[in-house]
Structure 1
Amino acid sequence: MNRRTALGARVLAGATRAEARAYGLRESRVDAGDTTLAVLEGGPADAPPVVLLHGFTADRVVWMRFARHLVRDHRVVIPELAGHGASGFARGTGFSAPAQAARVAAVMERLGIDDAHVAGNSMGGFVAATLALDHPERVRSLLLSDAIGVASPEPSEAEVQIRSGRNPFFLDDVADFPAFYAMTMARPPFAPRLVRDAIAADYVARRGDYEEIFTDVFDVATLDDRLGEIDVPTLVMWGEQDRLVHPSTARTWADGIAGARTVTYPEAGHMPMLELPARTAADYRAFLARVGASTVIAER
């Protein structure tokens, strides 16, 4: 790592810590059974809990600006999934959706959270849905944002590339990063060139890690045949300019889960919660309000 890249990494780390503190999010490490996970947590300890799960090659940071709109009246927990970010990578750990879901359940247990509203983006959506299936007692509701884990009626740009033998997630050179980064979001938040260069260098350095994680994630069955088993309120959220997971995939989730609602964003890409944090959080809060109301009615 050269001096410029090292400086960019320090700037990014410092800015991330400062932003987390500004939003009332504190950092910790939590026992997840076979490993420990880095976790951001904020909000009142006795408030309704919300667990936010990031996607493949991402980290807990992608949810922070969304989370700032929830911490006033929700207990927010953002784990960094095994193999990613500060949680660290250890070869052979096992990174499939069921393995990650089991770790999320263990983190909830460790934090004294019986059940929670669970949201996931991309791979995190696959993990969230798997948690609802494998540990249904843990999940009050689901938010599935641009989620993998089911068949896509139409191939995305990334899927077409993968079928042709070129996986856009695997980079050999930092010069390839800008093209990949452009695929991840239609409206990326501003980041100085120094910081983007540091992110690119870290991404290239982790290629071997990402190859193993990718194999584990896609070496398990999709959930198409099990969607009918999910019986919690579900919101399917999608960016209509998603180039990684085709927007048609939203229909698969929504059609398979009884009563699921869908909201889409014409101007957003693969991570609407990061691209449009205030708007997506407002939609999610409205969904949670409906979930709460329906729960009270059901209990009566």
Structure 2
Amino acid sequence: MPAWQIALIVAALVAAAFVVAIALRLRRDPYALVRAEFARERMALGLARQVVEIDGIRWVYAEGGSRDADAPVLVMLHGFTGSKENWYPVARRLRGRCRLLIPDLPGWGESRREGVAGHGFAAQAARVAAFIRATCDKPVTLLGHSMGGGVAAVLAAREPRLVARVGLFDAAGVRFADNQFGLDVLAGKNPFGVHDRASLARYLDVLFHDRCAIPAMPWPARDILVAHRRREAAFEQSVLDEIGRGPEQFLPGEEAARIRQPALLAWGAHDRVIDPSAMDLYAESMPQARKVLLAGSGHMTVTEQPDDVAAAIEGLLAAEPAKQGAHA
């Protein structure tokens, strides 16, 4: 048999073995397909996957941006049931001009959950403060969406030497005007719970106003996501018990009165999760904050209107920072 035929046979056997290995991996861990897509998106943006252990907690985060030492540092916090990937559309518009640090909060995404006690606003704010100290050498612009916005508000109030500016996007943590989502949370339900295709569709319908912004989920991604969310149900419920019904449910709003840094409040005009009335409640405590109402967006402003969100962040970066000190 000629050498070239042997080479073709070997190549075919290697390819077949690779396909079998991938199939076995997906059978054991179907969600690996979703993680692979997340990795593809991250690499397309030129972001690096970083891992750091802080106080015994393993953080996974995406990092990228400017090589300029004077470039602003942006730390971007995701919301309930979310992950670092939620910020990628905005990161695409800011890369090259800022240093971007986009972590999975402990308990979520790829960061550690086991052995991490408490996922309320105060506990997560303390952890993010430790993360900033470990990864940054100057005060940051802290951006938080939904639950992450509540965490950001608490941290900006309690650690002003770490946070030069703060942006809250559809942030949790105040007693906004009643809507069905809020009433369900107060009644002990998880309106974000997903257990089948129909509940997944309802979940996405509540999150998004612009249907075109919903990420594509070709087969079998939809069923993989449903199975993943079923496994997450108990954890989601425990976090919602802390941030939605527990003693800390309005802590971010209470702490907001102590925020003196330049601030941004941005909301989707059609937000069916955190009603837009929350923006005015935050603004009462943060009169220095610029308010931005995004007319074409629901709760997921950071993915529905990333151009407008990035423009609002650039306006925040242009604001004169509060008096800063070195890290404590």
When normalised by structure 2's length, the TM-score is 0.82
User: What's the Cα RMSD here?
Assistant: 2.5
Query: C-alpha displacement at 1:255, in angstroms?
Result: 1.6
Which aligned pairs between 1:1-300 and structure 2 lie closer than 5 A?
9-45=31-67, 46=69, 47-90=71-114, 93-152=117-176, 154-187=177-210, 188-194=213-219, 195-218=221-244, 219-221=246-248, 222=250, 223-289=252-318, 291=319, 294-295=320-321
Task: Say if 1:146 and 1:270, in contact at 8 Å, map to a contact too.
Answer: yes
Query: C-alpha displacement at 1:224, in angstroms?
Result: 3.3
Runs of 4+ in structure 1 over 4 Å off = 2-8, 295-298
- Tell me the SS of whatever aligns to 1:151: coil
Does the C-alpha gap of structure 1 residues 19 and 224 become closer, same or farther in structure 2, counting only changes over 3 Å? closer
Matches of 1:171 and 1:79 in 2, distance apart?
Answer: 24
- Tell me the SS of whatever aligns to 2:224: helix
Does the C-alpha gap of structure 1 residues 271 and 111 become closer, same or farther in structure 2, counting only changes over 3 Å? same
Query: C-alpha displacement at 1:7, in angstroms?
Result: 8.7
Amino acid of the structure 2 residue aligned with 1:176: S
Query: C-alpha displacement at 1:82, in angstroms?
Result: 1.0
Task: Say if 2:207 and 2:300, in contact at 8 Å, map to a contact too.
Answer: yes
Matches of 2:296 and 2:280 in 1, distance apart?
Answer: 19
Aligned length: 293
- Tell me the SS of whatever aligns to 1:136: coil
Task: Say if 1:147 and 1:245, in contact at 8 Å, map to a contact too.
Answer: yes
Query: C-alpha displacement at 1:13, in angstroms?
Result: 2.0
Query: C-alpha displacement at 1:171, in angstroms?
Result: 3.6
**Unaligned segments of structure 2, at least 5 residues:** 1-23
Query: C-alpha displacement at 1:215, in angstroms?
Result: 2.0
Q: Give the corresponding residue for 2:11.
A: none
Query: C-alpha displacement at 1:128, in angstroms?
Result: 0.4
Task: Say if 2:296 and 2:305, in contact at 8 Å, map to a contact too.
Answer: no
Does the C-alpha gap of structure 1 residues 95 and 272 become closer, same or farther in structure 2, counting only changes over 3 Å? same
Q: What do residues 181-224 of structure 1 show as CA deviations (whole Å, max 9, x unaligned)?
A: 21111123331232233222211111011112222324233233
Query: C-alpha displacement at 1:6, in angstroms?
Result: 7.4
Largest Rg, 1 or 2: 2
Task: Say if 1:26 and 1:41, in contact at 8 Å, map to a contact too.
Answer: yes
Matches of 1:192 and 1:112 in 2, distance apart?
Answer: 36
Task: Say if 2:146 and 2:169, in contact at 8 Å, map to a contact too.
Answer: yes
Does the C-alpha gap of structure 1 residues 64 and 79 become closer, same or farther in structure 2, counting only changes over 3 Å? same
Matches of 2:230 and 2:322 in 1, distance apart?
Answer: 49
Task: Say if 2:57 and 2:116, in contact at 8 Å, map to a contact too.
Answer: no
Does the C-alpha gap of structure 1 residues 216 and 32 become closer, same or farther in structure 2, counting only changes over 3 Å? farther
**Unaligned segments of structure 1, at least 5 residues:** none
Task: Say if 2:194 and 2:226, in contact at 8 Å, map to a contact too.
Answer: no
Matches of 2:27 and 2:309 in 1, distance apart?
Answer: 33
Amino acid of the structure 2 residue aligned with 1:220: P
When normalised by structure 1's length, the TM-score is 0.89
Q: What do residues 233-288 of structure 1 show as CA deviations (whole Å, max 9, x unaligned)?
A: 11100001111111111100112112111101122111111111122112211221
Matches of 2:124 and 2:185 in 1, distance apart?
Answer: 24
Matches of 1:55 and 1:296 in 2, distance apart?
Answer: 26
Matches of 2:186 and 2:42 in 1, distance apart?
Answer: 39
Q: Among the aligned pairs, what percent are the same residue?
A: 29
Task: Say if 1:237 and 1:263, in contact at 8 Å, map to a contact too.
Answer: yes
Matches of 1:184 and 1:32 in 2, distance apart?
Answer: 32
Amino acid of the structure 1 residue aligned with 2:228: D
Amino acid of the structure 2 residue aligned with 1:36: R
Task: Say if 1:32 and 1:104, in contact at 8 Å, map to a contact too.
Answer: no
